[in-house]
Chain A
């Protein structure tokens, strides 16, 4: 199916808002400027960059680099500098989490289907899939990578946040006007607003019907949220969140249903939110000890 790609430009009291769809999310770029040409140019550049990253790293797009890697059948596949840098980042996250965060863990979806049912897989089924999980089994350098047969990688845990940061880098090379980039709740700003006031950001918690949106004041930096209240399994009163421990193949127990974290860059905020979720009941304490500002919903 050919994706419909267009951007919408709307005038606001203090500037412009550009909207587009990417990465299965509603995306917006808010810019404080009186110059419509600049707003349009930024909107086009940012959306082009976000779509580029989506096309390259989405596992849902059959001709993406990610899909090519996943279909490489154990043969070496050429990678570029950008991919090498992303793999290095994923490697750091794997090391920092002692293997709990792992971009090869996506194959666990074959047995875990978080459809709010009581459909808990058997230990045997999980153990079988776990044979194809393990970042340490991957070999890569700055030119190529070798993904063992039957294994898959998935940039879902870092791709959107990376796109936010890339958008900010792009914006900084074009303008010093205040801009906010929001890709479905993962967002970042390049500076505070012209009136010196913070950006008021509504943090949505996907799936919480009756939860009021938390409004966060952000002067600069980024926010990212991990968690989705709609994705869980429940059996015998035990709730299984969709955050999986890549080391065991089982969901993390007692994790907050949603965790929002602020950090200088979106990709840091995103990984911190995920790493915190992986601490289960100690999620908040983990961030408190690191002195990291966060908002959790249990």
Chain B
């Protein structure tokens, strides 16, 4: 009988996984009944704070680097209410593709401010190296039981960059039923963003003006601008369903509907205007629709083997810009004993291009209503391979390290490369390294 085998295998059990061994033994003893794996919630005399901190470094080869520090404080009150406060500080530096295509000759671009310019060597993808920003983000979330089996949560969000301000609120309600084996949740959120880009907002398809210098006249630059700031709003509705299948398996399904309204164009991105030979005649600022409706479905399953945990999720996203994407994300938790663990991570992403995406404009064609050469809304595949190692320190605190490799391969969505472009690399891949250290206390 299987229980005999189980009792034999316990001979190797050591004190390090005492809790796990006892949970297993209790499950066997109490029969087929669902044995709660969640810890007992006992209120101590005082309410408790717990803290998480993390430092993350992201670096793309020859492009953007980002450093991010996160500090999270969580207070659990004696009635199980939770206050969560999170501070995130990001610093970005480096170069970002400006949308123009590589050329057989040197190209000169005006900086977004209009003041000064930069040159790109022949055959290279044009990158704007003025890209640097610091962002401070604050999130606060309050969660509490509203009634037996009903949990409510409200939160606020503030994010400030040099040229960007984002304010948001959210609310979520969850109902547990079927002896807490099933949960339905419903969430709403709303964000209000204001963008004040350096150099103002360019007019759609305006030609990139020549740079001016300290003593020069700014009117050439100003003629291509339509204002200094604009805003956008984002409203999301999310419906979720979580089901405990058995004591080893839990699944989750989410559907979300999101409407973004307002200024959605990237004021720093241009498109090359090419002649028949594929040579750039001009650089025109991009233009995107001022509304985007996104929908996504998400499914996740966690399976607890005897010791390891497999976590697999899939997301399908589609929007009325005709971007469709698939994301598969897999993590595998392997305990090593003594509180330490390894967690390999694999993520695959595939995206179809927006309907108005095009890598360049042709001089002979009529100007479209909308166009963008931003690789981020073009066709691409990407994958991430990573490994996390976590350990429990002598004082009971958790320390973990994560190292990941990210690769993004933009692909042609069927646009023919004329003449001179045949030898140029239009769809340049991006390689990045992500390193993270986290500490919980």
A49 in the interface (beta carbon within 8 A): no
Q: Which chain A residue lies CB-closest to B147?
A: A196
As a 0/1 sequence over residues 159 to 197 of chain A, the CB contacts with chain B under 8 angstroms (1 = contact) are: 000100110010010001010000000000001101011
Chain A residues within 8 Å of B277, by CB? none
B121 in the interface (beta carbon within 8 A): no
Count, A-B residue pairs, CB within 8 A: 122
B320 in the interface (beta carbon within 8 A): no
- A259 CB to closest chain B CB (Å) equals 15
As a 0/1 sequence over residues 277 to 318 of chain B, the CB contacts with chain A under 8 angstroms (1 = contact) are: 000000000000000000000000000000000000000000
A293 in the interface (beta carbon within 8 A): yes
Known A-B contacts A96-B15, A219-B80, A265-B26; the reply to A142 vs B3 at CB < 8 A is yes
Chain A residues within 8 Å of B30, by CB? 165-166, 169, 265, 267
* Bound: A175/B151 CA distance, A: 21
Chain A's interface size range is 35 or more
* Bound: A176/B29 CA distance, A: 22
Chain A residues within 8 Å of B226, by CB? none
Question: Does A95 lie within 8 Å of B13, measured CB to CB?
Answer: yes
Q: Which chain B residue lies CB-closest to A86?
A: B29
- A280 CB to closest chain B CB (Å) equals 15
As a 0/1 sequence over residues 218 to 250 of chain A, the CB contacts with chain B under 8 angstroms (1 = contact) are: 111110000000000000000000000000000
A271 in the interface (beta carbon within 8 A): yes
As a 0/1 sequence over residues 1 to 16 of chain B, the CB contacts with chain A under 8 angstroms (1 = contact) are: 1011011001101010
Chain B residues within 8 Å of A117, by CB? none
Known A-B contacts A96-B15, A176-B179; the reply to A89 vs B26 at CB < 8 A is yes
Question: Does B31 lie within 8 Å of A264, measured CB to CB?
Answer: no
Q: Which chain B residue lies CB-closest to A293?
A: B42
Question: Does A92 lie within 8 Å of B19, measured CB to CB?
Answer: no
Which of B18, B29, B38, B145 lies in contact with A89, CB distance below 8 A?
B29
Chain A residues within 8 Å of B179, by CB? 172, 176
A39 in the interface (beta carbon within 8 A): no
Q: Which chain B residue lies CB-closest to A289?
A: B396
- CB neighbors of B among A264-290 (8 A): 264-265, 267-268, 271-272, 275, 288-290
- A164 CB to closest chain B CB (Å) equals 11
Question: Does B7 lie within 8 Å of A218, measured CB to CB?
Answer: no
Q: Which chain B residue lies CB-closest to A32?
A: B148
- CB neighbors of A among B83-134 (8 A): none
Question: Does A197 lie within 8 Å of B79, measured CB to CB?
Answer: yes
A6 in the interface (beta carbon within 8 A): no
B22 in the interface (beta carbon within 8 A): yes
As a 0/1 sequence over residues 176 to 202 of chain B, the CB contacts with chain A under 8 angstroms (1 = contact) are: 000100000000000000000000000
Known A-B contacts A264-B36, A289-B396; the reply to A198 vs B79 at CB < 8 A is yes
Which of B4, B13, B35, B38 lies in contact with A92, CB distance below 8 A?
B13
Which of A96, A142, A169 lies in contact with B22, CB distance below 8 A?
A96
Known A-B contacts A264-B36, A289-B396; the reply to A196 vs B7 at CB < 8 A is no
Task: Please name 24 pairs of A and B residues whose Cβ atoms are closer than 8 Å in the assembled complex, sorted by A.
Answer: A88-B25, A89-B26, A89-B29, A91-B7, A92-B25, A95-B11, A96-B21, A141-B1, A169-B33, A192-B145, A196-B147, A196-B148, A198-B78, A217-B42, A217-B43, A217-B78, A219-B43, A220-B41, A221-B36, A222-B40, A262-B40, A288-B396, A292-B19, A293-B40
Given contacts A220-B40, A275-B18, 9 further A-B contacts (CB under 8 A): A89-B26, A92-B13, A92-B21, A93-B25, A96-B21, A169-B33, A198-B43, A198-B78, A262-B42
Q: Which 3 A-B pairs have the closest CB atoms?
A: A221-B40, A217-B43, A92-B25
The chain B residues found within 8 Å of chain A, CB to CB, are 1, 3-4, 6-7, 10-11, 13, 15, 18-19, 21-26, 28-31, 33, 35-44, 78-80, 145, 147-148, 179, 396
